[in-house]
Amino acid sequence: MEEIVRELTEAYGPSGAEGKVRELIQERIAPYVDEQRVDALGNLIACKRAGASPAVGRLMLAAHMDEIGLIVSYIDEKGFLRFHPMGGVFPLTLLGGRVVFENGTMGVIGIERWQEDKIPPMDKLFIDVGATSPAECPVKVGDIAGFHRPFFAQGTRWVGKAMDDRIGCAVLVEFLRQVKETIYDLYVVFTVQEEIGLRGAMVSAFAVEPDVAIAVDITTTGDYPESDKMAVELGKGVAIKVKDSGMIAHPGLRRHLVQLAEKAGIPYQLEVLRRGTTDAYAMQVSREGVPAGVLSIPTRYAHTPSEMVDQRDVRAAVDLLLHLVAQPMELGG
C-alpha cells in the first residue's frame, strides 16, 4: 500500500479544497465499484453491490479526504499573509514550516518576534510567499494553504502530513481492491470537511441511509515519552473505538468487531480517546439513528506536518474490513 499512501498524503487537500484528492481516489477505485458519484458538498460516494441477492443490508464505510490547513485572512502592505486555521492547527507546529496553495504557490511561516519561553499565538505568525506588496502577491484573501511535507517510509513506519485521514482513505481504497464478494450493499464514502465539523459525513449519511456505519480514521497513542496515558500503541494492531469525546460506539458493533478480530487472529486494541471525534458521530445521529463504530489507525504526532503510523496496523484494518463484509452482523442492543 505504500504507493497509494505516498500519493494521497502528498496531495493538496485542505478542508473545502479536496478536489485533487478526490480525483486520485476516483481513478484508483473505478475498476472495483459498480458506481460512484459526487454529491453537492463534494463527497465521493462509491457503491459496490452485494454478490448475493438480496443484500442483508446497507453498510456505510467512511474516511475523510480533507486535512487541516490555513486560510488567508489579510495581506499587509508588504505582501505578508495573515491567516486563520482550518481545523485543529497548533501554533507550536507552524514556525518555519512550508505551505502550498492550490495554484502551486509556496510559502514559509514566520513570526513577528521570537520569544524562546513562549508559544507564539496565531496572530503573531504570517506566511511569506516572497511578495513585496498586495498587488504582487500570487494568492488572495480566502485562498487556502496546505502543509508541504514529503512522505517517507522507515522500517514498518510511514510518516507524512495528512495521515489524518488519508491513511483511512488508503485503507478503504485497498479494501475495495481486495474485496471479492460482499453480502452487504457497500457504500464507501470519502468525505469532505471533517476537520471543520464533520459536514461531509452529515449529508452523505442522510443520503445513503445505512443500516450500519463505520468510520476509518486515526487515533492518538500513549507510547512515546511522557505521553498521555492511553492503551493504544503503534504496531499493536487496529484500534476498535469504545468512546471518544463525541460518541460512544455501538456496543453490539464493537463486540462484533472484537469477535471477528479474535477469530481471525487479527491484532487489535481497544480505544478510549479523551479528545476529538470522527465522522462516526455524524453518521450515528443521522435520521433516526444508525449503529456506528470506528476502526482507528494509531498515529503519533496527530495534527502536525509529520504524522506517523505503522503499516502493520494499517493492514490489520484492511483485513478486519474484509472479514466484516463476508458474514452477517449480530449487533444485539
Q: Give the chain as a 3 state SS string.
A: CHHHHHHHHHCCCECCCCHHHHHHHHHHHHHHCCEEEECCCCCEEEEECCCCCCCCCEEEEEEECCECEEEEEEECCCCCEEEEEECCCCHHHCCCCEEEECCCCEEEEEECCCCCCCCCCHHHEEEECCCCCCCCCCCCCCCEEEECCCCEEECCEEEECCHHHHHHHHHHHHHHHHCCCCCCEEEEEEECCCCCCCHHHHHHHHHHCCCEEEEEEEECCCCCCCCCCCCCCCCCCEEEEEECCCCECCHHHHHHHHHHHHHHCCCEEEEECCCCCCHHHHHHCCCCCCCEEEEEEECECCCCCCEEEEHHHHHHHHHHHHHHCCCCCCCCC
Closest CA to 70 of 192, 156, 222, 195: 195
Cβ–Cβ < 8 Å for 306, 161: yes
What architecture does CATH give domain 69-147? Answer: Beta Barrel (2.40)
User: For position 310, what pLDDT does the model report?
Assistant: 98
Closest CA to 123 of 86, 92, 100, 91: 91
User: For position 305, what pLDDT does the model report?
Assistant: 93
Bond preceding residue 54 cis, omega within 30 of 0: yes
Residue of 18, 67, 174, 194 marked catalytic: 194
Q: Which amino acid is at 73?
A: S
Q: Which residues pair with 98 in a beta bridge?
A: 108
> What CA dihedral angle connects 307, 313, 314 and 315, to 10 degrees?
160
Sign (positive or negative) of CA dihedral 154, 160, 166, 167: positive
Q: Which amino acid is at 186?
A: L
User: For position 333, what pLDDT does the model report?
Assistant: 60
Residue 132, classified by CB atoms within 10 Å of its CB into exposed (0-12), middle (13-18) or buried (19+), is exposed
| Chain CA centroid to CA 262, Å | 26
Task: Name the grid cell of 79.
Answer: 505582501
Task: Name the grid cell of 87.
Answer: 481545523
Alpha-carbon span 81 to 85, nearest angstrom: 13
Strand-pair category, 58-64 with 212-219 = parallel
2 among known catalytic residues: no
User: For position 171, what pLDDT does the model report?
Assistant: 98
Q: Which residues pair with 260 in a beta bridge?
A: none
Tens digit of each residue's pLDDT, the chain (333 residues): 999 999 999 999 999 999 999 999 999 999 999 999 999 999 999 999 998 778 889 999 999 999 999 999 999 999 999 999 999 999 989 999 999 999 999 999 999 988 777 888 999 999 999 999 999 999 999 999 999 999 999 999 999 999 999 999 999 999 999 998 899 999 999 999 999 999 999 999 999 999 999 999 999 999 989 888 899 999 999 999 999 999 999 999 999 999 999 999 999 999 999 999 999 999 999 999 999 999 999 999 999 999 999 999 999 999 999 999 998 988 876
Q: Do 2-67+161-324 and 69-147 show the same overall fold?
A: no
Q: Which CATH number fits domain 2-67+161-324: 3.40.630.10, 3.40.190.10, 3.40.50.300, 3.40.50.970?
A: 3.40.630.10
Strand-pair category, 292-298 with 238-243 = antiparallel
Give the domain ranges of the chain. Answer: 2-67+161-324, 69-147
pTM of the model: 0.95
